[in-house]
């Protein structure tokens, strides 16, 4: 059972803006930065957003992250077909002394 | 460029042991904390263990505590995961990942993964 809660699925049409939520608690999202990963089938995950709202080199600014209290969100604007993938949020948990992941959200581009 | 290459996966019987390795190149290995993350086939990501850059601090998930040990060989630029008392639920792809040092332990580089199957 994941400590961070994400919707199992999300969808949108090309050009739309889609958001994926990630709900946690005061011991993780509430007190630490949030990271987001993108994973395509059969490949390793890729860091998409770190430090809640920072972009690694090469990640387009169509992807953005935010946080409010113990919840975080990943927003994808100008949705493209190649954005169809699984998305995971993650954060350090001070109570568990470890990293916790959300259960993942499968994004479908209709 | 940064490269992480895992090895050591395979099929193992329940209760047996296996050691995974992750060969690092393209960066100063001793500067970075490193992690193991696993993913059961068709399932989500699960963090397994962390070792600090100097090897003095180690943390692991409750699900593997007391059975798995993370360690590193700086001279060989290699990360290891010693897995003992393996269970069927440990079946997964195991990835090593580099911690980029920013708050929240983001994993900025991942290996391709190695599959561990625990089955009789």
pLDDT at residue A55 in the model:
94
Helix (H, G, I), strand (E, B) or coil at B30: helix
pLDDT interval class at A2 (50, 70, 90): low
Are B44 and A88 inside 8 Å of each other by CB?
yes
Region of B31 (left: φ > 0; alpha: ψ -120 to 50; beta: rest) is alpha
pLDDT at residue B102 in the model:
87
The mean per-residue pLDDT over the stretch A57-63 comes to 95
Tokens of B39: 């993913």
Are B104 and A50 inside 8 Å of each other by CB?
yes
Tokens of B101: 């040092």
C-alpha triplet A15, A18, A20: angle, nearest 5°: 155
CB < 8 Å to B61, chain A? 96, 98
The answer to whether the CB of A78 falls within 8 A of the CB of A15 is: yes
Distance CA B28, CA B85 (A): 33
The mean per-residue pLDDT over the stretch A22-44 comes to 97
Number of Cβ within 10 Å of residue B92's Cβ equals: 22
Distance CA B86, CA B51 (A): 21
B50: nearest Cα among B60, B65, B62? B60
Number of Cβ within 10 Å of residue B91's Cβ equals: 17
pLDDT at residue B72 in the model:
97
CB < 8 Å to A98, chain B? 47, 50, 59-61
Mean pLDDT, consecutive 10-residue stretches, chain B (120 aa), reads 97 98 97 98 97 96 97 97 98 97 91 97
Distance CA B57, CA B69 (A): 12
pLDDT at residue B104 in the model:
84
Among A35, A51, A97, beta carbon nearest to B59 = A97
The residue with tokens 């958001």 is A19
The residue with tokens 């992941």 is A101
Distance CA A80, CA A39 (A): 15
A51 touches chain B (CB under 8 A): yes
Size of interface A-B (CB pairs under 8 A): 74
- pLDDT tens-digit map of B58-89: 999 999 999 999 999 999 999 999 999 999 99
- Model confidence at A1: pLDDT above 60: no
Distance CA B91, CA B83 (A): 12
Are B108 and A34 inside 8 Å of each other by CB?
no
pLDDT at residue A102 in the model:
97
Burial class (CB in 10 A: 0-12, 13-18, 19+), B29: buried
């Amino acid at each position: 059972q994941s400590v961070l809660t994400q919707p199992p699925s999300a969808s949108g049409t090309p050009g739309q803006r889609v958001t994926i939520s990630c709900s946690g608690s005061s011991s993780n999202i509430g007190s630490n930065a949030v990271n987001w990963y993108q994973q395509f089938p059969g490949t390793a995950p890729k860091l998409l957003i770190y430090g809640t709202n920072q972009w690694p080199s090469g990640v387009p600014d169509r992807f953005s992250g935010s946080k409010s209290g113990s919840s975080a969100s990943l927003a994808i604007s100008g949705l493209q077909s190649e954005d169809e993938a699984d998305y995971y949020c993650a954060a350090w948990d001070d109570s568990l002394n470890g990293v916790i992941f959300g259960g993942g959200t499968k994004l479908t581009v209709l | 460029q940064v490269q992480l290459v895992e090895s050591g996966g395979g099929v193992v019987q329940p209760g047996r042991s296996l050691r995974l390795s992750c060969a690092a190149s393209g960066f100063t290995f001793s500067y970075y904390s490193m992690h193991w993350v696993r993913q059961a086939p068709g399932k989500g990501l699960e963090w397994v263990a962390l070792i600090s850059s100097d090897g003095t601090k180690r943390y692991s998930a409750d699900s593997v505590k007391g059975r798995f040990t993370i360690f590193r060989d700086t001279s060989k630029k290699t990360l290891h995961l010693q897995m003992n008392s393996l269970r069927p639920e440990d079946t997964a792809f195991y990835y090593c990942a580099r911690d980029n040092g920013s708050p929240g332990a983001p994993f900025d580089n991942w290996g391709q993964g190695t599959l561990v199957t625990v089955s009789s």
